[in-house]
Amino acid sequence: MTALPRTVPISPDVVDLRCSFASLPLRHPVLAASGCFAYGQQFADFLDLRALAGLSTKGISPRPRPGNPLPRICETASGMLNSIGLENVGAAAFLRDKLPMLRAQGISVWVNFFGEDFAGYVECARLLDAGAGAGIDVLEMNISCPNIKKGGIEFGTVPEVAHRLTRACVEATRIPIVVKLTPNVADIVEMARAVKEAGAAGVSLINTLTGMAIDVRTRMPRIATTYGGLSGPAIKPVALRMVHQVARAVPDLPICGMGGIVSGEDALEFLMAGAACVQVGTANFARPRAALEVLAELRALMAELGIATVGEATGCLRAIPPEAPWEPPGN
Amino acid sequence: MAPTQFIARVTANRRLTGGYFILELSGQPTDGGGSVAAAEPGQFVMLRGEWGRELLNPRAFSVLHVDPDGCFSVMLKAYGRGTTRMKALRPDDSMTVTGPLGRPFPGPRPGVAQILVAGGVGLPPLHFQARRAHALGVATQLELYYGGRDRDDLVLLDDFAGWDVRHVLATEDGSAGTKGFVTVPLAGRVADARARGEAIELLACGPTPMLAAVRKLALEHDVDAWLCLEEQMACGFGVCLGCAVPVHGPQPYRYCCTDGPVFTAKEVRWP
């Protein structure tokens, strides 16, 4: 039995969606997520990229990577598994062929990056810094991709290792580093604290959950690497829980929330859990305009609920009031 | 032509034999983008019904037919969660369409016989190719080699007859045409053409084992062949990178959605 908060609907026109993430101004809180937006150009056929708050590119490594064998994806209940293998054009080709178009859009450009080993991460941060400087707003450090072998899993799951890696990358660049954490850990708060202490400007929460699917007719896994990363609405409750835990335990750490957002209501849930902004990922595959649809729905929903600003939404979660105490009868 | 995404309305859902059905859709992009009416044989559309959050991604279907007025159709069979729902679609239901996508088959060339090789649900792009050739008055240059499990598995044969496209049939149970795989009579046809110095090329779409056999035949006899492939894809426009196709060349993979779905037998890197 909980009363609704007193809300006075307002006009969608007066909802102020401007916000900031780690002191970077954003026109609104909806970005497109890494791995689900390539380098942006394919989406220009479907929408005006300038209407996005920003986007996070496909993960960039120092050198190009060809990606994993087939099959690489399969759909699951309310989600999908992928094991693309961090295929990308490499830092040099990205800087030369992809970044200029993104810069020209005047949106927040987040470049997701990784290395195949410790030195590779630092090298990639240096290369991107040297080649782009002010043209990149955020380096989103991917320490969480499940689809890379070579011991990469430690970067995202052992706090001391994540701390060392983050510190080394922070020192290698002037661009703010936002660390994208993996949910495949026992304690997300510990990981968030470790990267914050190492100088991360914020965290992106969450990457995919590792999962598996089997084709019983062929008796084979449905993706070639056996395990892949689960994304889509199926993982949203896990993502929300982690955003909430980190927001509560590490209050000064800006959080970019993501994981199964397909609607404005999903986005508002993430803001209420404590995210400063959100990314829309898997939904872009089915609906290339998904991020803008999420934004329009978010504006309408905030108006309906009388929430005038993003700041007002972030962390406005109310606690469920305690029940009246129960006493065994006859006392 | 740049793809667009728009809502289309189902105008008909026609049952064929063998569990196949043809879904006819009508709709135009409202943003002035490319229409599916401009699609060519081999190109495809991504279709998604009002599936909520349970079925996330659209499914890819080769275009069967287009009308200049924006109506188009696909042919499919219910074999998974998405196609099972599509089988139940009725007129006026709506679907989200993204397309036209991919690169088409080459058109017929003067003096070269085009042999269409179809297996099961791989018929649509070849049916479209034959219809197009008929409209251009060159259908007699085409032949169809069409295989299926049984007689009911072979559909739309009257269309090919009406277009004067000669056809050779094969079924696994022998209920229509020769008994066995269609690649057996095809092998005879290819060997014979090579022996006589006849110029031929192969256009194929169907199950992967059939495509592998067509590829092998083409490579052995040094005949040009184009294979229309099918891979799992989430987006259809080059973003998810799920539909990689192993190829020979400077890169190990190309993409079924943007580089294909039509690939040459020579470039595909299969065992």
User: Contact A285/B96, CB-based, under 8 Å?
Assistant: no
The β-bridge relationship of strands B262-264 and B224-228 is: antiparallel
Contact check, Cβ <8 Å, B242/A73 = yes
Residue of B nearest to A44 (CA): B2
Distance from CA of A286 to the nearest CA of B (A): 5
In this predicted model, what pLDDT tens digit does every residue of A280-298 receive, in sequence order?
Answer: 999 999 999 999 999 999 9
pLDDT at A151 over 70: no
* Per-residue pLDDT at A7: 82
* Cα angle A58-A59-A63, degrees, rounded to a multiple of 5: 115
- DSSP E strands in chain B: the ranges are 4-15, 20-26, 44-48, 59-66, 71-77, 94-101, 113-119, 142-148, 166-171, 178-179, 200-205, 224-228, 244-246, 253-255, 262-264
Question: Which pLDDT score is estimated for B182?
Answer: 96
Average pLDDT over residues B230-249: 94
The SS3 call for residue A214 is: strand
Is the pLDDT at A153 greater than 80? The verdict is no
Q: Does A69 touch chain B (CB under 8 A)?
A: yes
Q: What percent of chain A has pLDDT over 70?
A: 96
* CA atoms within 13 Å, Cβ hemisphere of B119: 23
Mean pLDDT of chain B: 94
Cα–Cα distances (Å) from A30 to A213, A233, A284, in that order, read 31, 17, 13
Tell me the chain A residues in contact with residue B270 when contact means C-beta distances shorter than 8 Å: none
Residue A331 pLDDT grade (very low, low, confident, very high; cuts 50, 70, 90): low
Q: Judge whether B246 is closer than 8 Å to chain A, CB to CB.
A: yes
Mutation to test the A interface, candidates B7, B30, B56, most A Cβ within 10 Å: B56
pLDDT for the residue numbered A305: 96
pLDDT digits (tens, 9 = 90+) for B197-215: 999 999 999 999 999 999 9
Q: Any idea how long chain A is?
A: 331
- With cut-offs at 50, 70 and 90, classify the pLDDT of residue A315: confident
Q: Give pLDDT, residue B34.
A: 64
Active site members of A: 145
The model's confidence at residue A149, banded by pLDDT at 50, 70 and 90, is low
CB burial of A96-121 (b: ≥16 within 10 Å; e: otherwise) equals eebbeebeebebbbbbbbbbbebebb
Copy the structure tokens of residue B233.
């894809």
Q: Which of B1, B83, B95, B241 is best to mutate for the A interface (most A CBs within 10 A)?
A: B241
pLDDT at A2: 61
Span B33-71, pLDDT tens digits: 667 888 999 999 999 999 989 899 999 999 999 998 889
Residue of B nearest to A262 (CA): B53
Cite the DSSP H helix spans in B155-207.
157-162, 183-196
Contact state of B96 with A233 under an 8 Å Cβ cutoff: no
The predicted-structure confidence for B78-121, as pLDDT tens digits, reads as follows: 988 999 999 999 999 999 999 999 999 999 999 999 999 999 99
Model confidence at A145, in pLDDT bands (50, 70, 90)? low
Q: Stretch B126-153: mean pLDDT, rounded?
A: 95
The per-residue pLDDT for B28 is: 79
Residue of chain B with shortest Cα separation from A83: B242
Contacts of A45 in chain B (CB under 8 A): 2-4, 33, 237
A262 Cβ under 8 Å from any chain B Cβ: yes
* Segment B18-23 mean pLDDT: 96
Beta carbons of A45 and B2 less than 8 Å apart? yes
Cβ distance B239 to A82 less than 8 Å, yes or no, reads no
pLDDT of A231 strictly over 80: yes
B117-134 pLDDT per residue, tens: 999 999 999 999 999 999
Confidence label for A144 from pLDDT (cuts 50, 70 and 90): confident
Instruction: Give A77's contacts in chain B (Cβ within 8 Å).
Output: 54
B7 has a chain A CB within 8 A of its CB: no
Distances in Å between the alpha carbon of B215 and those of B127, B192, B220?
A: 20, 17, 9
Contacts of B59 in chain A (CB under 8 A): none
Query: Mutating which of B233, B239, B259 best tests the A interface, going by the most A Cβ atoms within 10 A?
Result: B239
What phi and psi values does residue A263 have, to the nearest 5 degrees?
A: -145, 170
Read off the tokens for A259: 């994981």
Determine contact, residues A254/A201, Cβ cutoff 8 Å.
yes
CB contact under 8 A, A73 and B251: no
Q: What local confidence, expressed as pLDDT, does residue A147 receive? A: 54
pTM to 2 decimal places? 0.93
The pLDDT > 90 percentage for chain B reads: 89
**CB atoms inside a 10 Å sphere around CB B156:** 19
Instruction: Residue A285: list chain B partners with CB under 8 A.
Output: 56-57, 234-235, 239-240
What element of type H or E holds A55? Answer: strand A54-56
User: What pLDDT score does A280 carry?
Assistant: 98
* Pairwise CB contact (< 8 Å): B4 & A286: no
pLDDT score of B2: 80
Please write down the HEC assignment for all residues of A56-68: ECCCECCCCECCC
Distance CA A88, CA A67 (A): 8
Residue B76 to residues B21, B47, B140, B153, B173, Cα–Cα distance (Å): 6, 12, 27, 12, 22
CB within 8 Å: B58 and A286 = yes
Residues in A touching B246 (Cβ below 8 Å): 69-70
A146 pLDDT exceeds 70?
A: no
Give the mutation candidate from B83, B235, B256, B259 for the A interface (greatest A CB count, under 10 A).
Answer: B235
| pLDDT of res. B183 | 96
Nearest CA-CA distance, residue B30 and chain A, Å? 12
Instruction: List CB contacts (< 8 A) between A262 and chain B.
Output: 53
Mean pLDDT estimate for chain A: 94
For residue range A48-90, what is the model confidence (pLDDT) as tens digits?
Answer: 999 999 999 999 999 999 899 999 999 999 999 999 999 999 9
Which residue is closest to B52 within chain A, CA to CA? A78
Residue B20 β-bridge partners:
B77
